[in-house]
Structure 1
Amino acid sequence: MRADRLGRFARHIVLPEVGGPGQMALAGAHVVLIGCGGIGSPALQYLAAAGIGRLTLIDDDVIDASNLQRQTIFSEGDIGTRKADAAAAWVARFDSEIAVTAHATRVNAANVAGLIAGADVVLDGCDNFATRLVVADACVATHIPLTSAAVGRFQGQVANFAGHLPGQACYRCFVGDAFDATDCDTCAADGVLGAFVGMVGTFGAMAAIRVILSANPACAASPLADPQWGRLHLIDGLAPGMRTITIPADPACPTCRA
């Protein structure tokens, strides 16, 4: 790592929980981000700031003025442009050393495997269950860990799933088959507080960082390298507070136990 990069990440490197090996693991990692909106925007900021070496950004939506209340990587000049493209441009301005690829497309069963190929972790912050389940099923099939982050008004959920590992639950073990649909609640109808979405998005970025560090043997002793598979963190934005529950592997799950 060059001297200027060492200086940039010095506050990470002096942390015993990260150190030089951890920072090198982050620099060598490939994260696929599904959704560059309310959750994806703050998650992207802190993944880039952490020094993730390669980012793949996937979102088929176009920036609207109403997005600016919470999607902090965008500005008024971005209105009308594709979120994935504008997000990639933000990354390029922020850190020219990050390899970033944008896909302004909607994830589906036909393209998902190609879109997430080669990822060390997929961070899913999309806004509908149909896409979430397509992504989750593909992660199990391709043996890629999944970080799931979601918000509903003042309730947030963040968890790491590794359904491809023995005894570990996948995302479908958590939600089942009931949500294979696109007709879910939206923030346009229910409302959302921008600062709370930012809180959940950055927590999701930290969960993805845990996954990356856990794969590096040099970081094995670090408590930050515990991916906490299947531990669902429930965040209450009103109280505020957080509680954690464990999602057990469903022995009848058609995805990870087939």
Structure 2
Amino acid sequence: MTKLVTVITPVYGPSAEYLADAYKSLLDQDLPNGWDWQWVIQQDGETDDVAPHVPDDARISFGRGRHGRAGMARTMGLSRAIGQFVKVLDADDQLPAGTLARDIAILTSRPDVAWTTSRVLDLLPDGSTVGFDQDPPAGPIERGEVLAHWKAHDFRAQVHPATLCIRRDLLLALGGWMALPASEDTGLLLALNAVSRGWFIEETGLLYRKWPGQSTHQAAHSHEIERAARMGVIQARAESLLALDTWRFEAA
């Protein structure tokens, strides 16, 4: 696991065409001396419509399995992750140059920090970008801060879970991503914040593509009853973890 960051990407048929852009963004990363990346691509489903879009690169591990939505695909991909850090990257998103280097710099220099997030720009269909006007100050994110903000702002966090870079041993200790039909990455973010300290990087660390086929664009994503159930179990888990003062994550 020395000097390797694993990038985990869940993918299903309609988003597979964007893997080429995600791959280019990985190739554009300038990593610290001796570091490299591993890209774990996990298909949500067992069809043949994703494999043709997977680049030919020895650093890529491609797998597929039963349909269970993104949370299950992410966690199944985690079984092949060998890096000491795990970076999230959805199939339709891109990492700006320097993203992985900044994540690595924080996590290697600050043993008190277990995960990082960064600024996000929405990538619109016309190629333009739009930022978020409520980013927190650059620097540490203390235990419980994300949960408090999330509860006070209609279940919207001040940092984006799609930008997470996490110490692999903590990710495994928390069981990977939550078994939810959506918001599994938000559930992980709040769990991480409940047991450990994070860090916000003010430079842009993700181009978050907006397009009609993305899961958050579908009507089911905002279905009132399901959303309430998702948010309820995410909150209950985070509050339970936060209350366990006898267990806090500390990097080895």
TM-score (norm 1): 0.36
Higher strand share: 2
Q: Which has the higher contact order (CA 8 A, sep 6+)?
A: 2
Please give the TM-score of this superposition, normalised by the length of structure 2: 0.37
